[in-house]
Copies of this chain bind each other. A is one copy, B any other.
Amino acid sequence: MTEPTSDKTALVLFSGGQDSATCLAWALARYARVETIGFDYGQRHAIELDCRARLLDGFRAIDPAWAASFGDSHTLSIPTLSAISDTALTRDVEIAMGADGLPNTFVPGRNLIFLTFAAALAYRRGIADIVGGMCETDYSGYPDCRDDTIKALQSAISLGMARDVTLHTPLMWLDKAATWRLARDLGGNALVDLIREHSHTCYLGERGARHDWGYGCGECPACALRAKGWREYQARA
């Protein structure tokens, strides 16, 4: 494994999904100390949050240097978000495309809220580097995952807190197959296997059946994207 290249601390948005688990490995390879933050906002897949502990244990087991780098693991509850968002992720309705071309899983501004809360916590802890798994390549119509959005928000946060904050998005231009390759490069097949087994992607919030790409319903857009990425990764491996 690589030595950390920075003596700073990073705060990683860590939901327990494939993308954020890969971001966590990316940060562990670069920063002397890494803290994580997860959000509980009444979403159906609270199971994703349960996956965090198992993944963190797995990271510690893969590399003692990683184990030594872990700082606090934070969970912030944001009940406000579900209160104002009548969407498929927070209510028991079918996932579909809305008239505006966005999936009805879209919680308006969700990533803006997550990143701004993360920045507020980071401010209090003297952390200037925030890492998130936003990705434009497979962004499924979510405008708050786009690079333009993240860069505008970095400006707003840095100006609004009078402190330079960097929002790192190492997956921004990767597709899901490339994300698996990045995980392999960062932590070998042990990390790929860990993420495959214990990360959660399925919109339905079910562990579901075991597939070669992990657990999930196998039908929802998130499962379909994950399955496609795994197939492509395997084909090119």
Contacts and interface: CB of A to CB of B under 8 A. Distances in A.
Interface of A: 76-81, 83-86, 100, 102, 107-109, 111-113, 116-117, 119-121, 123-124, 143-144, 146, 148-149, 152-153, 155-157, 159-162
B124 A117 contact: no
B109 A123 contact: yes
A72 to B, nearest CB: 12
Count of chain copies = 2
A37 to B, nearest CB: 10
Contacts of A108: 119-120, 123-124, 161
Given A79-B79, A146-B159, A161-B108, A84 B120 contact: yes
Given A85-B120, A102-B162, A120-B85, A156 B112 contact: yes
Nearest to A147: B159
A116 B119 CA distance: 14
7 contacts: A84-B124, A109-B161, A111-B160, A112-B116, A143-B162, A149-B159, A152-B160
B116 A120 contact: no
B80 A84 contact: no
Contacts of A81: 120
A98 to B, nearest CB: 12
A56 to B, nearest CB: 21
Nearest to A111: B160
